[in-house]
Amino acid sequence: MIERQKFCIVQLGEYSLGFDVRFVRSVHESTKLTPLPIPVPFVMGVLNLRGQVISLFNTFDICKLPAQKSTQQNERKTFLFLECARGKGGLLIDQIDDVIEVNLSELHPPQSNFNPSLRTFVSSILKYQDRLVLILDFEKIYDVICGGNV
């Protein structure tokens, strides 16, 4: 039997990013974002999501990507909500593309000359249609966010 894994593919700027669906909880569009009274690195604000207070993370800052004009001007923001053992939060994305199931053999390790700021989170690279999808590890992203507070 070939081992298969499901990924949620999202668009962020010029990048296609993928997340293991086991960490993905939901996708929400939101206009009502509660700002933080004291700024915290990477956290754009919090949201009342069905009685839970969830932090929203600025994916551009975390991945050190240049912010895209289109998302910054848009009032409505889309967030992909993820949860790992250590914590949870919503990652700012442009839009959700697809949920796909692939064979593990289709995943490639990131090349050694890969963008170093992204390399920390990229667990593997997947060829999807004619694009390259960076598979991100939410646990590592969350570690970096929490590390930013120390």
Distance CA 101, CA 141 (A): 23
Distance CA 77, CA 130 (A): 27
Q: Can you give the length of the chain in residues?
A: 150
Distance CA 43, CA 62 (A): 9
Which part of the chain contacts another protein (CB under 8 A), choosing from 14-22, 30-38, 63-71, 128-136? 30-38
Does 146 bind another protein (CB under 8 A)? Our answer is yes
Distance CA 25, CA 19 (A): 11
Q: What single-letter DSSP state applies at residue 130?
A: T
Does 37 bind another protein (CB under 8 A)? Our answer is yes
Exactly one of 9, 10, 12, 43 binds another protein (CB under 8 A); which one? 43
Does 29 bind another protein (CB under 8 A)? Our answer is no
Exactly one of 4, 22, 26, 52 binds another protein (CB under 8 A); which one? 52
Closest listed residue to residue 74, CA positions, set 98, 92, 62? 92
Does 85 bind another protein (CB under 8 A)? Our answer is no
Does 63 bind another protein (CB under 8 A)? Our answer is no
Does 64 bind another protein (CB under 8 A)? Our answer is no
Which part of the chain contacts another protein (CB under 8 A), choosing from 14-22, 52-60, 104-112, 117-125? 52-60
| Chain mean position to CA 11 | 10
SS3 139: helix
Exactly one of 35, 72, 116, 130 binds another protein (CB under 8 A); which one? 35
Query: Which residues contact another protein by CB under 8 A?
Result: 34-38, 40, 42-43, 46, 48, 51-55, 57, 86-89, 142, 145-146, 149
